[in-house]
């Protein structure tokens, strides 16, 4: 359960960014701790027990991607990565490593806060504990997914994405709908986040021909065969 003041771990080697986030988030009702290196932050995680982490990819020593993978041991932790890079490969590495979302520098503090609040929000969904479609089976109680009988490992957001598709089989879902239900906010204009997760999910469930998760050009996606 989230406390009255959610705890946010900030890891960025730029002092100006750390100060901006500490002051800005504190004024908006968050508790924060900020560190310049991944090693410092990791040493305090057990004591601080954050609900969310904001991590810069480019860090001295251990980088933000390595820290993200370690923090992902906690499936309930919301992880937002910050990056000055715009290369898709860097984004994919971050999301595959366990990040839930990303923001490119420079960023607007209000947008970051909106995403942070949405990521911390716990929404109850009216879906049965088990769902099946074609070769896919999701057991929500065991948090287990199989494709054609073989268990597959998904990131937290890939799991939520598949869960949402299974909840709405054969229904065309706009990218804006997917963002709203899976990430918890309306973020028009950036399709990359959904596209990257769809691509990764297809690869893991063996849908390289895009027959199970179908692309509806100009609109979104549909689970169908």
Residues 61-71 have pLDDT tens digits of: 999 999 999 99
pLDDT above 90 (res 225): no
Provide the pLDDT for residue 125: 39
Q: Which pairing describes strands 144-147 and 150-152: parallel, antiparallel, or unpaired? A: antiparallel
Nearest 5°: the CA angle 188, 119, 220 is 35
Distances (CA, A) of 177 to 68, 79, 97, 219, 225: 27, 21, 24, 10, 21
pLDDT above 90 (res 87): no
Give the residue-averaged pLDDT of 167-187: 77
pLDDT above 90 (res 105): no
Rounded to whole angstroms, the Cα distance separating 152 from 150 reads 6
Reference 170, options 113, 104, 209, 221; nearest CA is 221
Provide the pLDDT for residue 27: 92
**Domains of the chain, start order:** 7-120 (3.40.50.2300), 130-223 (1.10.10.10)
* pLDDT, averaged across the chain: 85
Single pTM value for the model? 0.60
Provide the pLDDT for residue 128: 57
């Amino acid at each position: 359960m989230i406390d009255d003041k959610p705890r946010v771990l900030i890891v960025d080697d730029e002092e100006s960014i750390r100060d901006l986030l500490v002051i800005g988030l504190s004024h908006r009702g968050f508790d924060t701790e900020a560190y310049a290196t991944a090693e410092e932050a990791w040493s305090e995680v057990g004591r601080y027990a954050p609900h969310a982490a904001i991590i810069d990819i480019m860090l001295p020593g251990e980088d933000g991607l390595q820290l993200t993978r370690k923090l992902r041991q906690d499936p309930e932790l919301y992880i937002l990565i910050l990056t000055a890079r715009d290369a898709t490969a860097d984004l994919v590495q971050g999301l595959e490593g366990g990040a839930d979302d990303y923001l490119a520098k420079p960023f607007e503090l209000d947008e970051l806060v909106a995403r942070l609040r949405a990521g911390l929000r716990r929404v109850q969904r009216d879906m049965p504990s088990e769902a099946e479609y074609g070769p896919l089976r999701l057991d929500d109680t065991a948090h287990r997914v199989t494709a054609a009988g073989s268990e597959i490992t998904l990131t937290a957001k890939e799991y939520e994405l598949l869960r949402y598709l299974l909840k709405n089989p054969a229904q065309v879902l706009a990218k804006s709908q997917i963002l709203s239900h899976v990430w918890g906010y309306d973020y028009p204009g950036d399709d990359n986040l959904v596209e990257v997760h769809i691509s990764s999910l297809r690869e893991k469930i063996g849908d390289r021909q895009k027959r199970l998760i179908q692309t509806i050009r100009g609109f979104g996606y549909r689970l169908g065969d």
